């Protein structure tokens, strides 16, 4: 329980930020799943730049760590090339 006005405000801000980040992470997971489950090489080549760009933007906004984005992009590149 917050005892100070600034702590109450921080709790409100943290909750809003948590919901904001939750939306972006869920969107990221959906697009990753869509790319991983595709078996069509042309569709995968079309999706990969969009997903890669999304990951870079999430790193820029500090939603995910840069190493996590690099690992995801690496595994997705392997998947697209193996099709």
> Domains, the chain, ranges and CATH?
5-82 (1.20.58.110)
* Cα–Cα distance, 36 to 46 (Å, whole number): 13
pLDDT tens-digit readout, 35-56:
999 999 999 999 999 999 999 9
> Of the candidates 70, 74, 72, which has an alpha carbon nearest to the alpha carbon of residue 28?
72
pLDDT tens-digit readout, 15-31:
999 999 999 999 999 99
Report pTM.
0.83
């Amino acid at each position: 329980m917050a005892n100070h006005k600034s702590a109450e405000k921080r709790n409100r801000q943290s909750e809003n930020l948590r919901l904001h980040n939750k939306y972006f992470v869920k969107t990221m997971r959906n697009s990753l799943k869509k790319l991983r489950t595709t078996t069509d090489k042309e569709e995968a080549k079309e999706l990969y730049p969009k997903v890669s760009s999304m990951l870079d933007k999430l790193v820029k906004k500090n939603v995910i760590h840069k190493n996590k984005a690099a690992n995801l992009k690496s595994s997705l590149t392997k998947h697209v090339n193996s099709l």
